[in-house]
Amino acid sequence: MRAMILSAPQTQLQKVDIPAPNFGPDQVLLRVLACGVCRTDLHLVDGELPDPKLPIIPGHEIVGRVAGKGERVERFQLGDRVGVPWLGFTCGKCGYCTQGRENLCDFARFTGYHIDGGYAEYTVADQAFCFPLPESYDDASAAPLPCAGLIGYRSLVMTGDARRLGIYGFGAAAHIIAQVACFQGRQVYAFTRVGDVEGQQFARQLGAVWAGDSETLPPDELDAAILYAPVGKLVPTALRALARGGIVVCAGIHMSDIPSFPYHILWGERSVRSVANLTRRDGEEFLALAPRVPAKTNVEAFPVDQANEALNRLRAGKIRGAAVLTMS
Chain contacts with Zn ion (rule: CB under 5 A): 38, 40, 90-91, 94, 97, 105, 147
64/246 with CB nearer Zn ion: 64
113/210 with CB nearer Zn ion: 113
* CA 57 to mean position of chain CA atoms: 17
40/200 with CB nearer Zn ion: 40
| Closest among 229, 56, 228, 33 to 143, alpha carbons compared | 33
Q: How many CA atoms lie within 13 A of 315 on its CB side?
A: 12
Min CB(278)–Zn ion separation in Å:
9
Q: How much is the CA Rg of the chain, to the nearest whole Å?
A: 19
Min CB(290)–Zn ion separation in Å:
16
Min CB(281)–Zn ion separation in Å:
15
92/303 with CB nearer Zn ion: 92
Instruction: Give the whole-angstrom CA distance, residue 277 versus residue 102.
Output: 9
Residue type, 241: A
201/298 with CB nearer Zn ion: 298
Min CB(102)–Zn ion separation in Å:
6
Instruction: Give the whole-angstrom CA distance, residue 249 versus residue 277.
Output: 13
> 243-265 in b/e burial notation, b at 16+ Cβ within 10 A?
eeebbbbbbbbebeeeeeeeeeb
Q: Is 237 left (phi over 0), alpha (psi -120 to 50) or beta?
A: alpha
Min CB(235)–Zn ion separation in Å:
20
